[in-house]
Amino acid sequence: MKHLLSIESLSASEIHEILALAKELKAKRGHDTAKPLAGECWGLLFAKSSTRTRVSFEVGIRELGGDSLFLSSSEIQLGRGEPIEDTARVLGRMIHGAVIRTFKQSDIEIFAKLSGIPTINALTDEEHPCQILADLLTIEELRGSLDGVEVAFIGDADCNMGRSWIWASARLGFGLRLACPELFTPPAELLARANAPVTITGDPEEAARGADILYTDVWVSMGKEDEAEYRTAQFAPYQINDRVLAAASPKAHVLHCLPAYRGKEITAEVFEAHANAIFQQAENRLHVQKAVMTLLKR
């Protein structure tokens, strides 16, 4: 693996390798002598806000023996119109790896190609691979295995998280149900390309029926703030609440990539009842990302 640009570009065995190493690194945290990033400085180029991704990468890079530089797009020339092509060719001569959060998937692909350094997608409008890897690790921990799991994603199925679930289901073969308004159905072209075992419905209870995992994400993703009012109205019936949870398997877990908006995509009651799993999921960002960076150096 040279880069982590998407789940689409990974194989099932690469995903399992990341998850296995993440478990090992999680167990060894605090007494691991391997420092695969020793002597390196990685750049975090962020064009959108972040709590989990930024902190887990900064801490993870340090734990792997490296240093990091946080480069907000608003503070570097990229934010004033310097092309990504030039930014990539400059930074590729100075830093040893890049973690990029931005809008266009093509920007991280261009960066990876022209910089020549390991590049990680820390969220684009298309995918959020680091998050889905943490989600998969959490499900393995909660259930013992991903085999036979049925996941119901309720809400904005066409956002980066919904799309990442589609690719995870395509690569690993688990069942995925998407519940979303018709206008927020992922594009037919993407569904055909992924060819995943996905069902799509407009009814959240139907999607939840017997599911092992209920998953949601914000209704207004970063960059969509202008559509907030419209989206809030469209997604109102797609909340994870007691009624939707009652349709799921009695042992179902509720996961959320965070940040969470209580009273919108999830009720405060359901969120708090499943907070342990949700924050375990957040912690797992650190472990999977350390695994990814370690594998990029092998």
**Residues binding ligand NVA (CB under 6 A):** 123, 128, 159-161, 217-218, 221-222, 257
Catalytic residue among 217, 239, 253, 289: 217
Site residues (CB under 6 A) for ligand CP, limited to 201-260: 257-258
Based on the residue annotation, tell me whether 131 is a catalytic residue of this protein: yes
Based on the residue annotation, tell me whether 159 is a catalytic residue of this protein: no
Residue 114 vs 122, nearer CB to ligand CP: 122
Give the alpha-carbon dihedral of 183, 186, 190, 191, to 10 degrees.
-110
Residue 92 vs 289, nearer CB to ligand CP: 289
The dihedral sign for the CA sequence 256, 260, 265, 266: positive
CA distance 93 to 95: 6
CA distance 103 to 108: 9
Residue 92 vs 138, nearer CB to ligand CP: 138
Based on the residue annotation, tell me whether 163 is a catalytic residue of this protein: no
Helices (H) and strands (E) in the chain, counts: 12, 9
* Residue matched to tokens 């809400």: 155
Closest CA to 124 of 229, 193, 53, 59: 53
Site residues (CB under 6 A) for ligand CP, limited to 112-131: 123, 131
Strand partners, 99: 44, 120
CB of 292 to ligand NVA, least distance (A): 17
If binding is defined by CB under 6 A, does position 72 make contact with ligand CP?
no
If binding is defined by CB under 6 A, does position 264 make contact with ligand CP?
no
CB of 221 to ligand CP, least distance (A): 10
CB of 129 to ligand CP, least distance (A): 11
Instruction: Give alpha helix (H) positions in 248-274.
Output: 268-273
Residue 3 vs 163, nearer CB to ligand NVA: 163
Closest CA to 256 of 291, 206, 213: 213
Strand partners, 101: 46
CA distance 63 to 157: 35
Say which entry of ligand CP, ligand NVA, none residue 127 contacts (CB below 5 to 8 A, set by partner kind): none
DSSP classification of residue 43: E
DSSP classification of residue 186: P
Based on the residue annotation, tell me whether 212 is a catalytic residue of this protein: no
Catalytic residue among 96, 105, 131, 180: 131
Say which entry of ligand NVA, ligand CP, none residue 196 contacts (CB below 5 to 8 A, set by partner kind): none
Residue 160 vs 294, nearer CB to ligand NVA: 160
Catalytic residue among 163, 285, 287, 289: 285
Instruction: By CB under 6 A, name the binding residues for ligand CP.
Output: 50-53, 123, 131, 257-258
